[in-house]
Structure 1
C-alpha cells in the first residue's frame, strides 16, 4: 500500500508533463528559426555557381502549450502573442496559413522581377485572377468566399485587376447585386452577393460606400527565360523577397556577389524597395548560429525604430561578429556586394 502512495507524485508529475505538451493555450510563440542556404532552394537554368552563399532566415511560430509558454516567458528572444494579435477577426488558423503561403508566392514573384530586370532580362506576366486574402465577418462574402479563392469574372466581365473590381463595385450601392465566378482548388464556382454598407458591418468603420467584404490582391504568374525554380515547401510570409532576389541575380550574372562570404538577411521586396519585417531580433540569432558573416537589414529610411537598429542592438547583445548592413533598396544591396573585397582564404 505504501508503495502505491509513493508512486502517486510521479504519476501526477507525468500527467502534468503530458498536459503541458498537449494542452493548447490561447497564445502563439515565436522564436529563432533557421538560416537556410538558398542555392539548393533556387535554381536558375544554366545559372552561375557561387563560392559563398546567400541565406534565408526564418522565425518559428507555433501555438503555445504550457511548456512553451513558460519557456518563452522566462527565455530570451522568444515572443508571446495573443490569438487576436496573430489571427484577424473571424480568421481561422487554416486561413492564416493559406494567406502566409500566398505572401511567400508573391515574394517570389517580386524577387524574380527585381533580379531579372536588374540583369537586363525582360519579364512577362500571366494574370491568374484576384486572390481573396480574407473576408470581413458579417459582410456578404463571409462564409461564401474563402481565403485562397480567385475571382475571375464579375457580372459577365473578365476581371483584369483588383482595382478594376473595386472601381466596378464603387459604382454600386447597398442592396445591389454582383454575380461572381471564382476558382477554388482548381474548380470553378459561381455566387451572387448583395452589397452592404461597410460602416454597418465593420465596427468603428467610417468607410463610405458598399461592398462585399473581401481583402483582394492581384495574383500574377511571372514568365522568364532562362527559367527559375524556387522551392520553399511550407515556408510562408513575405520576408524573403530581398534574399531571393540576391540569389537569383547572382545565378544570372557571371560575377559572384558572395565573394566567398556567408550572407544572410531579410526584408520584403516590392518594385525594388526593401520593406520591414517582424522578428528581426530572432532572425539575427538564427543567422549568427548559422555562421553568417554579413546580414542585410531593412533600413526604413533611417527610422529610429527601424529593423536595422534593432538588428544592430541584438547583434551586440549576443556578441555576434556579423556585420549588419542597412538597405532601403535591392540596388543598394547589390552595390554593396559589388564593392565588397573577396574573402581571403
Structure 2
C-alpha cells in the first residue's frame, strides 16, 4: 500500500482540475448587478432625474463541476440542463445572437410605449423577420442562415414574425415555398420545402405539424423618433429589461421626475400594448437590486414572479419594497403616489 500513497496528491490535483475546467452539460446562474439606465439611454435634450431607474441582470455561463457543486450549496445560485437555456439544436453562438435580438425587440417595444404615452412623435416600420435559430435536420438547417432577414413569402411582403408563422400554416408537409431573404446585404430567393417537425416539437395534442424549421423568429422593426433616442446596451442580452427601459425613456421625455429621488430597480418584458411579462431568475434579480441598495423593485405578477420576489426579499431581509405590476401604467400609478425622497 505504501507505494500508492504518493499518487494520492496527484489524484486529488487531477480531480480539482477536472472540477475547475471540464465543462458539463449544464448552465450556471447567479445574481448579476443592477445597472443604472441613464448612461445607457439618452433622449435628445433629456430631462435629468434626481434618482435612478436600474435594470437587473443574472449572470449566465457554462457550468463545470466546481460551479455545479457551488450552486447546490448556495441559495441564490442555480444550475440548469443545457436544453432549459438553449434550444436542443441551438449552438452557443445562436443562443447569444437570439438574446441580442430579443434585447433589441425589447428596446423597440419600450420605445413605442414610452413615446406614445408621452405623446411624442414616433414612426414605426416592421421590415421583416430575423432567423435567430434553425432546427437540426429540418429544411432551414441547410437553406437558411442565422441572421437572414425574411421579407417575402411566395411574393407576399412579410413584415412580422406573426405574419410569417400564419403564412406558413397554410402549407402542408412536402409543399415548397419561396422566401425572399436579405443575406449579407444582398437579396436572394430561397425555395424551401416544409417537413414534419420532430416528435418532440409536436403541439400539445400530439398532432403532426409541418414547417421549414426556424426557431425564435424575431420581427425586425425600424423606429424613428422625435426627439432622437440612443440606446447602448453593450452586449446585454434578453428581453427582461423592457419595463425598466420604458420607465427610463418616459422619464427622460417628460417634465416630471418619476424617480422622485429614489433608486428604482425592476424587471419584466414589455410588449407594444404596454403589458409586462414574466422573466426568469427573479430571486437572483432581487438579490442584485438589494446589493445595489435599491429602494423599490418592480416585479411582474405573472408566472409566480411576484410571489418568488417577495419570498426572496423576506429571506434576505431587505428594506426594498417589492411592487407587483401587470402593465406600464401600473408602474406609473405607483410612482404617482410615491412621496418624494427627503
Normalised by the size of structure 2, how large is the TM-score? 0.90
Q: Which moved more, 1:48-57 or 1:207-216?
A: 207-216
* Deviations, residues 88-126 of structure 1 (Å, cap 9, x unaligned): 121111111111111100100011111111101132112
- Residues 1:158 and 2:160 are matched in the alignment: no
2:171 aligns to what? 172
Structure 2 SS opposite 1:297: strand
Q: 1:7 to 1:244 in 2, by over 3 A?
A: farther
Pick from 302, 309, 314: which aligns with 1:316? 314
Q: 1:71 to 1:117 in 2, by over 3 A?
A: same
* Deviations, residues 233-267 of structure 1 (Å, cap 9, x unaligned): 21111100000000111111111111111110001
Structure 2 distance, partners of 1:296, 1:221, is: 28
Structure 2 distance, partners of 1:220, 1:153, is: 15
State whether residues 264 and 287 of structure 1, in contact with CA within 8 Å, keep that contact through their aligned partners in structure 2.
yes
* Deviations, residues 191-215 of structure 1 (Å, cap 9, x unaligned): 2112224477945774466432224
Q: Which moved more, 1:123-132 or 1:7-16?
A: 7-16
Structure 1 SS opposite 2:318: coil
- Residues 1:124 and 2:126 are matched in the alignment: no
Matches within 5 A, 1:105-144: 105-144=104-143
State whether residues 33 and 60 of structure 1, in contact with CA within 8 Å, keep that contact through their aligned partners in structure 2.
yes
Matches within 5 A, 1:320-331: 320-331=318-329
Structure 2 SS opposite 1:123: strand
Q: 1:199 to 1:235 in 2, by over 3 A?
A: closer
Q: Which runs of 5+ in 2 are unaligned?
A: none
State whether residues 131 and 151 of structure 1, in contact with CA within 8 Å, keep that contact through their aligned partners in structure 2.
yes
Normalised by the size of structure 1, how large is the TM-score? 0.90
2:214 aligns to what? 214
Q: Which moved more, 1:177-186 or 1:256-265?
A: 177-186
Deviation of the 1:185 alpha carbon: 4.5
Deviation of the 1:178 alpha carbon: 1.6
Q: Which moved more, 1:57-66 or 1:172-181?
A: 172-181
State whether residues 276 and 325 of structure 2, in contact with CA within 8 Å, keep that contact through their aligned partners in structure 1.
yes
Question: Cα RMSD between the aligned structures?
Answer: 2.5
Q: 1:68 to 1:140 in 2, by over 3 A?
A: same
How many residues get paired? 338
1:68 aligns to what? 67
Structure 2 SS opposite 1:134: coil
* Deviations, residues 130-189 of structure 1 (Å, cap 9, x unaligned): 122433333221232233321123333432333443444344333322222212353444
1:17 aligns to what? 16
1:278 aligns to what? 280
Matches within 5 A, 1:288-299: 288-299=290-301
Structure 1 distance, partners of 2:70, 2:330, is: 39
Structure 2 distance, partners of 1:45, 1:313, is: 40
Deviation of the 1:315 alpha carbon: 0.6
1:245 aligns to what? 246
Structure 2 distance, partners of 1:210, 1:199, is: 9
Q: 1:174 to 1:330 in 2, by over 3 A?
A: same
Q: 1:207 to 1:121 in 2, by over 3 A?
A: farther
Q: 1:192 to 1:227 in 2, by over 3 A?
A: same
Q: Which moved more, 1:182-191 or 1:147-156?
A: 182-191
* Deviations, residues 47-90 of structure 1 (Å, cap 9, x unaligned): 00111101110001111012111110111211110112112121
